[in-house]
Structure 1
């Protein structure tokens, strides 16, 4: 393969990977009055064994960036009402 073909193949692979990595979770929409409070959700996440680096609201989800109890990087989306995991990416 030529350098140009290799560069093109690498660019296409990265584009596909970034679209997958950036795809957000499909959380159920709940009225804000039914959401777990952020403090309650952070406590629940801690009880699940995750260490939180970043906690945020992402659309209709709570989202964390942090680590699992065994030290692996984690990006987890949670239902705002139940606190259930909707989507997780663990490295």
Structure 2
């Protein structure tokens, strides 16, 4: 009787595990932080890209991550390679 509930519960836990990996930050670099661009230099580069308002600037895994308003006035969550400054992932609302 108990195994009837165990299998669906285990399947649900596996599904939750897979869905959480979809929200993990991307891998941006394998370089150590000593090779990363300074936050000030990165913020200046981001401003030149047209992001108007940076609400959050943080290290997320191996990336610099921002929550900002882009040049079109839309909210954006963007991950950058902290060594090159290249955009790795751009999520716009």
- Range into which the TM-score falls when normalised by the shorter chain: 0.7 to 0.9
Structure-1-length-normalised TM-score:
0.74
Q: Which runs of 5+ in 1 are unaligned?
A: 1-14
Question: Could you tell me how far 1:44 is from its partner in structure 2?
Answer: 0.4
Larger Rg: 2
- Could you say if the C-alpha distance between residues 20 and 70 of structure 1 is closer, same or farther in structure 2, counting changes exceeding 3 Å? farther
Question: Could you tell me how far 1:19 is from its partner in structure 2?
Answer: 4.2
The CA distance in 2 between the partners of 1:33 and 1:22, in whole Å, is 27
Structure-2-length-normalised TM-score:
0.73
Q: Which residue of 1 aligns with 2:78?
A: 76
Q: Which runs of 5+ in 2 are unaligned?
A: 1-15
Name the SS for the 1:39 alignment partner. helix
Number of aligned residue pairs: 75
Alignment of structure 1 residues 39-78 onto 2, 5 Å: 39-50=40-51, 51-78=53-80
